[in-house]
Amino acid sequence: MKQWMGIGIFTGILAVGFIYLGSGQTAVINPELNNIKVSEAIKERGRQVAIEGDCVACHTGPNGAEFAGGLHFLSPFGDIYSTNITPDKTHGIGNYSREDFYRAVKFGYSINSGNLYPAMPYTSYRKLNDEDMNALWTYFQSVKPIEQANKDNDLIFPTNIRFTLGGWNQLFFDDSDFKKTVGKSDIWNQGKYFVEAAGHCGECHTPRNIGFAMKSNAALQGAIIEGWDAVDITAKQLKKRGWTHNELIRFFKEGESNLGSAFAGMYTAINHSLRHMKRENLSAISTYLLDEDQHSTMTITSQLTTEAANSPRFLTEDEKAQKGYQGYVSYCAGCHGLDGLGKPNAVVAINNNSVLTADSAYNAIAVILRGLPSKRQSLIQGTVAMNGFSSEISDLELTELVNFARVVWGGHSDSVIDVDEVKAIRKQLDESGYLKDSGPDKSHSGL
């Protein structure tokens, strides 16, 4: 009996030690970093890193002050609220040392609340280099402190015990520095650094394993998140859908392209982050994502696909006679036009739209069921809201419509989505609460 007790206690101590060592609170930084003198140039670089990292998107509540937190996230385990990261001493990071800041951003450990949930993408920010981290720290010292209390998370047991995240880190956290790929150009590696570190693209676009960690062997291969398909953005798939270097840069800069416009999480990422970045950085991202190493920022490539998308394509009589077109006219043509040409700065064109050219039909089905809020990218660019049709369109009508559109406008030789697939997606969206009628477009997504 005593022997078993001894083994139990020993195992318990080992487990606690294992979790403690994974908690991030033991991480140390290079002491020399504390000797860096603050300068306006470093602070400005920090502002850029904050933009690249899109900190403001998550750490700003609805109509709230920048970086004061309070944005709600629905996780599989309950409700999470982003925290105040202004230098306020009571509620924010005003009492943080430089080392505390590093531990929070790169290792997911906060002196205010203990281990951070990986909703905060420290799992990607871990790749940030010392120079950028130092700049980020300097910038956040200059942010206006906001005295706004943090909201408590509401999570199920045992995920509400923050300490256990140390164990999660031990099992799933890739605790390694950013590595350049040998044999690739500097601009390609610059793109890789952004995508893996500040840009944290994989947090949405990489599928997750059973422990909700990004699958390292399936990077950027697409994942369902918040009821949308964060599509596969590997080079092969991007090229297959017709993306080119210049088209991607335009998409990042304007949220618009000849292959469709950004929506949902990607619109947020572009609105707060990508469109504020320098063109040469966007060029680096595009070079890396398309795995094309011969671009300079000024290169104009031949763009057969986008040229084709630029010229209006009218449907033939044969296409209009196909099953599914009547459904298109019934539900879609009122806005998108009888030939899917859309209306400039109001309704997106459907021909060659990435939602239809993608291998997965998830977004095509989801967008018809859910609709989208209106967007405004600038004074002269935007799109009107699209209302969802979940209460009006039947599974069979939707199936025929999506199959028709994927063949006619998505470039697929055939599309054989079946009714059961549509049913399953509808059920999943409904159970997740994404099919509630949102009413008039009161949630205007302004600048």
Q: How far is the CB of 359 from another protein (least distance, A)?
A: 29
224 contributes a contact to another protein by CB under 8 A: no
Q: Considering the complex, state which of residue 276 and residue 320 has its C-beta at the smaller distance from another protein.
A: 320
Taking contact as CB under 8 A, which single stretch among the options 182-190, 244-252, 260-268, 323-331 is the one that binds another protein?
323-331
81 in contact with another protein (CB under 8 A): no
Out of 335, 341, 407, 419, name the contact with another protein by CB under 8 A.
335
SS3 string of the chain? CHHHHHHHHHHHHHHHHHHHHCCCCCCCCCHHHHHCCCCHHHHHHHHHHHHHHCHHHHCECCCCCCCCECCEEEECCEEEECCCCCCCCCCCCCCCCHHHHHHHHHHCEECCCEECCCCCCHHHHCCCCHHHHHHHHHHHHHCCCCCCCCCCCEECCCCCCHHHHHHHHHHHCCCCCCCCCCCCCHHHHHHHHHHHCCCCCHHHHCCECCCCCECHHHCCCCEEECCEEECCCCHHHHHHCCCCHHHHHHHHHHCCCCCCCCCHHHHHHHHHCHHHCCHHHHHHHHHHHCCCCCCCCCCCCCCHHHHHHHCCCCCCHHHHCCCCHHHHHHHCHHHHCCCCCCECCCECCCCCCHHHHCCCCHHHHHHHHHEECCEECCCCCEECCEECCCCCCCHHHHHHHHHHHHHHCCCCCCCCCCHHHHHHHHHHHHHCCCCCCCCCCCCCECC
Binding to another protein by residue 346, rule CB under 8 A? yes
- Options 70-78, 152-160, 175-183, 432-440: segment touching another protein (CB under 8 A): 432-440
For another protein, the binding residue among 209, 334, 418, 427 (CB under 8 A) is: 334
Tell the smallest beta-carbon distance from residue 441 to another protein (Å): 6
Nearer of residues 14 and 346 to another protein, judged by Cβ:
346
386 binds another protein (CB under 8 A): yes
Binding segment for another protein among 271-279, 315-323, 417-425, 426-434 (CB under 8 A)? 315-323
Residue 69 CB contacts under 8 Å (≥ 6 apart), including other chains? 59, 60, 61, 81, 82, 83, 84, 85, 148, 150, 151
Tell me: does residue 176 bind another protein (CB under 8 A).
Answer: no
**How near is the Cβ of 18 to another protein at its closest, in Å?**
49
320 binds another protein (CB under 8 A): yes
392 binds another protein (CB under 8 A): yes
Position 341 contacts another protein (CB under 8 A) = no
Q: Of 18-26, 43-51, 222-230, 386-394, which segment contacts another protein by CB under 8 A?
A: 386-394
In whole angstroms, how close is the CB of 192 to another protein at the nearest point?
41
**Closer to another protein at the Cβ: 212 or 331?**
331
Of 26-34, 111-119, 220-228, 322-330, the segment contacting another protein by CB under 8 A is: 322-330
Residue-wise over 403-414: b if at least 16 C-beta within 10 A, else e?
Answer: bbbbbbbbbbee
**Should residue 233 be labelled a site residue for another protein when binding is judged by CB under 8 A?**
no
Shorter beta-carbon distance to another protein: residue 213 or 347: 347
Radius of gyration over every alpha carbon of the chain, rounded to an integer in angstroms? 24
Q: Is residue 390 a contact point for another protein (CB under 8 A)?
A: no
Q: Which is nearer to another protein, 145 or 327 (CB)?
A: 327
User: Does the protein bind another protein through residue 446 (CB under 8 A)?
Assistant: no
Residue range at the interface with another protein (CB under 8 A); choices 154-162, 170-178, 334-342, 411-419: 334-342
Residue from 71, 119, 235, 385 touching another protein (CB under 8 A): that is 385
Residues at the site binding another protein, with contacts judged by CB under 8 A: 317, 320-321, 326-327, 329-335, 338, 346-347, 384-387, 391-392, 437, 439-441
